Amino acid sequence: MPSEAWRRRPPRARPLVMRSTAREPWRDPVFQELRLENDRLRAENSRLNAILAPAYSFPRRWDLTGQQAQVLALLYSQGGCLSYARIAAAMTKGTGDRSTRHISVVIRRIREKTESFGVEIENYQSVGYGLSVEGRAVVKAALGARA
């Protein structure tokens, strides 16, 4: 009579997780380490977002959209000339997925809405944009009046 070994099932594979942590994964040291790393990365992400786009409350009469206010806040807070890449990174929360044409359209719309109040945005050819000295003073006064 031939052997019946071929009919037997292979032994069940043992779980990769230790038995004590199978029901309580948060007790696993690897899980705890990943959780700490996740918390650290979230905190760093929040800090970098605050650096990229500080929150300012511009006057309502300027009628700026959220993205326009974000770009103007960046120009005001950083001072000097900001490159197209830096502005694009702030507009897209770090991905930098915007063309220079899109940035120039946003800047043009900011200029249209704020030029009557004295805000001047300068174009640095093939580099980026920045607020003029007079424009920074106007923005500072507007922000100071709202504080």
Does pTM top 0.85 for this prediction? no
The full set of domain ranges for the chain reads: 25-50, 55-146
Which of these, 90, 49, 51, lies nearest to 69 by C-alpha position? 90
Q: Is the pLDDT of residue 147 over 50?
A: no
DSSP 8-state code for residue 16: S
Give the model's pLDDT for residue 114. 92
Average pLDDT taken over every residue of the chain: 80
**Which CATH class for the 55-146 domain?**
mainly alpha
Q: Which residue has the higher pLDDT, 54 or 27?
A: 27
Give the model's pLDDT for residue 107. 93
Give the model's pLDDT for residue 79. 80
User: Residue 92 burial by CB count (10 A; 0-12/13-18/19+): exposed, middle or buried?
Assistant: middle
Q: Is the pLDDT of residue 5 over 70?
A: no
Phi, then psi, of 130 in degrees rounded to 5: -160, 160
Which of 7-11, 55-59, 97-101, 111-115 holds the top average pLDDT?
A: 111-115
